[in-house]
Amino acid sequence: MLKKTLLVSLAIAALAGVATERDARACGGCFVPPGPSTQVTAHRMAFAISATRTILWDQIQYTGSPEEFGWVLPIRGKVDVGVSSDQLFQRLEGETTVQIVGPPQPVCPRSSNRGLFASSDDESAPTSAGSAADSGVSVWDQKVVGPYEATQLSATDGTALTTWLTDHAYVLPPAVAPVIDQYIKEGFGFLVVKLVPQREVTKMEPIRISFEGSSPSLPLRMIAAGTGAKVGLKLFVLGDGRWEAKNFPNAQIANDDLTWDFAAMGSNYNPVFIGKLGENGGRTWVTEMSDEIPRARLFAGLPAGTTENDAGATVFAKDTDETDIERAFPGKANVHVTRLFAELPQSALGQDLELQASTLGKLSRTRNVTKTTNHPCPGSSEGGSVFGCNATGSGSSLTWFVVIGSALAMSVAARRRR
């Protein structure tokens, strides 16, 4: 039997180690056996938190054989599992990416312009569907959701869980065993996901996991064993207001931190961003933006997810992204989205990420830069104007009108004296 590669992941956006390229590729919480294997090449995640419901979206991109894919997430009780679409993440990216607006191109006098996740769901408690067959492991639920087979279970100890995973063709690296043991001691169960055998899948559909209650916590410890020296983490948090890290340092980039370089026709946003990430020993979470977005712009018209009934037929899922977000934020036209990014060192992954409501206000994704350097006008001073070198043509013309007008007045006065 071909063993499934177990990708132990918290479903966080594990991106590249280079913070300036947030679309880059990397492997977060990825464990593979020797030889040909499946490799995770990208992770994207969104996290909706309300007073009554928590929703997690995760998409994994990978290279290799689909038969080798497997994924596990710590959970405290039975959860609703569904599928989403690429379009949700595309909309989140499009609505939250920071936009830099530089000052107007100056027009200089006498010179040409120069270009310069927690409680159970509807059922009161998890039920055992496989404890008799799997000693030490209690299977709460098992179903086919889109291209995935999703199993929810708990274990009495790490050895029992490892045995169950091995018997079901997963590979659990020894390095992650202590982490699994600790989660079990803390009362966590697990969601284990793998692709349905013989299902022709070339791209992972996003997984949606939701449950009743508010749980602003993400298990960073699950990815520690599978990362390098650093791991980049992108996180979209949807809520009633701004969110921030509770047990990690926070930072943001203010407009006053930015300078526009006329020679390069760009700002210093990326260097400042990298500098913020490196503060506090690399443990800082940088808030890129936090603002309200019309809910319809994110969720209206998304493709309906599919699932599989008992007869093996593919049907449309009862719950969609739009109906699930309505359950979390009933009747609200807008949802507040906070975009966070961190590049954490291995040493910072020993604790889970706890989120909390922030007392800070909104942070627009549009940054208007006013400070300048390498000003194109000869004799000008940075950030200001000297002798008629203004940001607009009308300002320059007005300055010269004043100079010429003064000269004419002096000439008329001299003639009268004569």
Question: Rounded distance, CA 46 to CA 49, Å?
Answer: 10
The pLDDT score that the predictor gives to residue 265 is 86
The pLDDT score that the predictor gives to residue 180 is 87
Task: Read off the pLDDT of residues 307-361 as tens digits, 9 standing for 90 and up.
Answer: 666 666 655 566 789 999 999 999 999 999 999 999 888 888 888 899 999 999 9
Residue 377 in tokens: 């006008």
Question: Rounded distance, CA 304 to CA 208, Å?
Answer: 12
How far CA 176 is from CA of 4, 166, 205, 350, in Å, comes to 16, 14, 26, 12
The pLDDT score that the predictor gives to residue 251 is 97
Q: What is the mean pLDDT of each run of 10 residues along the chain (418 residues)?
A: 44 34 29 42 77 87 60 84 86 94 79 41 47 72 83 90 83 78 90 74 74 87 68 90 96 94 90 95 96 96 71 65 93 96 88 93 94 78 39 34 34 43
The pLDDT score that the predictor gives to residue 32 is 40
The pLDDT score that the predictor gives to residue 23 is 29
pTM: 0.72
Task: Read off the pLDDT of residues 77-109 as tens digits, 9 standing for 90 and up.
Answer: 888 888 888 889 899 999 999 999 998 877 777
3-class state of residue 236 by DSSP:
strand
Beta carbons of 210 and 80 less than 8 angstroms apart: yes
The pLDDT score that the predictor gives to residue 308 is 63
- Beta strands per DSSP E along 12-158: 13-15, 39-49, 53-63, 70-75, 80-83, 99-101, 137-145, 148-155
